Copies of this chain bind each other. A is one copy, B any other.
């Protein structure tokens, strides 16, 4: 493969936003989605970055993502809101949910927004880190289509449910845990296929439900730590999808008409730290905790002990200056999308 081209983040964002406006989105909403995707690229989460642009545009074209959704507040208390997202682009609904959750947290200490019937929420760390920058503990998880093996099954039964938790940390750079409930992500399976790199045992099943290490055959991720990963994913379905009367797993697995339509449900929770602990004290104690762990002996003498999100933050710091490395296949894909629309490209 030829080496990737470096493109400044701001130019990519303007370009991607214009593509979404061209597809029918309002400029501010298009900016929100573009920002979330570019953030993921900056953090090195390529699987949730610009590779999603064509997928989103395709969903918009088919009406699976509505470009002009009608948000409705279905329930609202001082502490909880249910936001009907009407198949909105995920980032737009999640962004609004964060703002509402924080408003409630500022008022009563804690705020939860349950987001109903949204679409691909993307890298959840983008939302939790924004809340943490505002002095919150930010928590988000999503329920999605069952593409991961249920523990003990030779078929997919639950989603690779993502969970993110972020807390305020020094220099305004939150500590962000961004994980999923699979032993491996769908994106990692895709990468393994591209590079034809064998998988470790216990990570994936083939399309027939047999365990495999062959990257060309691996299709279904296995759950993290067996019953823990699939149990957590199942509980997210109960807490988000069932509580909001928008079941995903049962409709999908029972082949109900429309049951395989792409959709997600999510929780966005904010806790206002300063209500319970002075924020500077929280950050000092976090630094002390990190320092106490960093001084532990490492298993690999050359290795370092990384905090949640530390690798992503280093990547961000590098890419925000140097630009985002765009592999040729992505350049080609996005160029074609732009050409078909008579738009200019930023490379």
Contacts and interface: CB of A to CB of B under 8 A. Distances in A.
Interface in A86-109: 104, 108-109
B80 A300 contact: no
Given A239-B271, A247-B288, A308-B227, A152 B282 contact: no
A224 interface: yes
A250 B79 contact: no
Interface of A: 75, 77-80, 82, 104, 108-112, 114, 137, 150-155, 157-158, 165, 167, 175, 177, 179, 183, 209, 211, 224-225, 227-229, 231-232, 234-235, 237-239, 242-245, 247, 249-250, 252-254, 271, 273, 275-277, 281-282, 285-286, 288-289, 291-293, 295-300, 303-308
Contacts of A276: 75, 82, 114, 243-245
A224 B225 contact: yes
B289 A109 contact: no
A237 B288 CA distance: 12
Contacts of A300: 152
Number of copies: 2
Nearest to A281: B245
Nearest to A274: B243
A224 B231 CA distance: 14
26 contacts: A75-B275, A80-B108, A80-B275, A110-B110, A114-B276, A137-B243, A153-B293, A153-B297, A157-B292, A175-B235, A177-B232, A177-B235, A209-B297, A225-B225, A234-B307, A235-B308, A243-B273, A243-B282, A247-B289, A249-B292, A249-B293, A250-B285, A250-B288, A250-B289, A250-B292, A254-B292
B286 A242 contact: yes
A175 to B, nearest CB: 7
Contacts of A234: 177, 289, 293, 307-308
